[in-house]
Amino acid sequence: MYGAAPSSLAAVSYDAAALIAALSEDGMLSSGELINRDGFMGVNGLFRFRDDGTAERSLAIMEIDPTVEDGTGVKEILPVSPSCDPTFG
């Protein structure tokens, strides 16, 4: 729409706005809802908040590899975790 891909900050902002909208549907927002151990799915993958309020994200691990046949030069080594299992974070 604007002639360029959105920045990574745009994705974080979108996740924050979508999270607050979803959690406040009943008109109330509690810290217990926000610190959900199951986490939340955002545009860049799974994230959750720790008890101290810091964010924890599940990120993919990528490798730069010029031999990748799709022309991107990037190969995914470990995908984003789809759940908050014990290895998350």
Asked if the structure places residue 56 within a domain, the reply is yes
Q: What's the structural domain count of the chain?
A: 1
DSSP conformation letters of 38-50: T-EEETTEEEEE-
Range of the domain at 56: 8-78
Per-residue pLDDT of the chain (89 residues; tens, 9 = 90+): 778 877 878 888 988 888 888 888 888 888 888 888 888 888 878 888 888 888 888 888 889 988 888 888 888 888 877 776 655 55
Query: Is residue 1 in some structural domain?
Result: no
pTM over 0.75: no
Structural domain contains residue 49: yes
Residue 29, phi-psi category: left (phi > 0), alpha (psi -120 to 50), beta (remainder): beta
